[in-house]
């Protein structure tokens, strides 16, 4: 078993903020390491919102 875990995912955010619709995607990664006390979160990263593609 390893002592480091990395989760990377494409996050799609759809919401209403201040009466305006929000709809965008971004990449994020979280990194955790195993310590004698258990798993600990050590680093997170998120991209800028991805450019919108053509609607299909």
pLDDT in tens, 1-56: 689 999 999 999 999 999 999 999 999 999 999 999 999 999 999 999 999 876 65
The strand pairing partners of 8, in sequence order, are: 29
pLDDT at 16: 97
The residue extents of the domains of the chain are 4-46
Structure tokens given for 49: 């919102």
CA dihedral 37, 38, 39, 42 (to 10 degrees): 0
Among residues 49, 42, 50, 44, which one has the least CA distance to residue 3? 42
The strand pairing partners of 2, in sequence order, are: none
């Amino acid at each position: 078993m390893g002592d480091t875990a990395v989760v990377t995912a494409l996050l799609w955010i759809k919401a209403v903020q201040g009466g305006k619709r929000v709809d965008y995607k971004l990449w994020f990664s979280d990194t955790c390491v195993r310590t004698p006390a258990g798993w600990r979160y050590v680093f997170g990263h998120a991209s800028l919102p991805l450019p919108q593609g053509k609607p299909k």
